[in-house]
Amino acid sequence: MKDQMTRKSRDKGSILILSLWTVVFLTFIAVMLGGSAGTGIRFSGRIEDISISYDLASSGMLYAIRTIAAGKLDTSPSTDALNDQWANDPSIFGEVKLGEGSYGFAYDKKDDSSGQVLTYFGMVDEERKLNLNYADREEIVRLLLELTDMDQVRATELAASIIDWRDVDDILYNTVDSASERAAYVRAALAYAPANENFHELGQLMFVNGMDPKVFVRIRDYVTVHSTGRININTATAEVLVAIGLSSDMADKVKLFRAGQDGTEGTYDDNVFTSVNKVSGDLEGHFALTDAEKDEITRFVATGKLSVRSDNFMAVCTGHVAGAGTSGKVISVFDRNGNIKYWGYVSLAS
């Protein structure tokens, strides 16, 4: 009898313990499910905000492209310069309210004349950059030397690799033994060969044998694959002007001429080259040029590498969702007629 009572007590104790563990387990599951549901809701909301931010950025970009194509920003039909509306006009390209948020076009640029880092609200013309589909080796080498810490040998090798990517043959550039481009890529442990055609987008530059990510970041704002190939002397950086053959001193004079009296480019008092044929005269009228400098600028103009107008533009539009702290960025390259040459998503920031 006593054993039976003891056994019943032990069974009741086991049932109680099992019941308590069941309650604890079910409570744990409930907490986990509740937390997961909350996380899922928050994640779903985050995805929606991201989608909206990209929609806002895309809408802003399409508006900018249509505005360019309609000629509404073409205030000086024969020239393009850094004080034009497309380059910097906060009333058009600043923060614009739209739907559940806003969009805007803003980028920072160091003014070579004043040394200040200025915020511009607008687009960047591709004709201010060196087109890697047209540039010769010497031009690419000079740009690399201007922008990176490469020595002459390393810059020459990389410039040759860039040309090998775009040329139509399988022969390494400027070699006497007809060495194979494909073999060079195999030796470099690369699982692909040069395209042997023009670059279609700037990102392809990262696949070039010998290209370093740090070098790419340093030069990407100075090169393009979407331009006429001619350099707009009204917008080009000093580094690009040097790359196509102008001396550093004369490039600085070009920048000073453009900056006007306030010494800052992109403002109301900028001087603008109205014709390639007038570049020499404009500079001679502004500076006391030596005979050697006059000869240099005359030869430079005669190369046919210059223009005073731009036909292709790049813009980055950022969409912001009101109160969400979410931003989506869209980048596009397009021509004056509204033809889109590149479209992509840049980054996501919170």
How many residues are recorded in the chain? 350
Which pLDDT does position 177 carry in this prediction? Answer: 66
Q: Largest Cα–Cα distance of the chain, in whole Å?
A: 127
Which pLDDT does position 350 carry in this prediction? Answer: 43
Condensed to tens digits (0 to 9), the pLDDT of residues 2-32 reads 444 444 444 544 554 445 455 445 444 454 5
The yes-or-no verdict on residue 70 having pLDDT over 50 is yes
Q: How far is CA 239 from CA 20, 32, 249, in A?
A: 76, 59, 11
Comparing CA positions, the residue from 235, 254, 231 lying closest to residue 80 is 235
> What is the residue whose two structure tokens read 């987008």?
201
Confidence of residue 45 (pLDDT cuts 50, 70, 90): low
The yes-or-no verdict on residue 37 having pLDDT over 70 is no
Q: What is the pTM of this model?
A: 0.84
Tokens of 179: 């060495």
Residue type, 48: E
DSSP letter for 124, please: E
Which pLDDT does position 8 carry in this prediction? Answer: 46
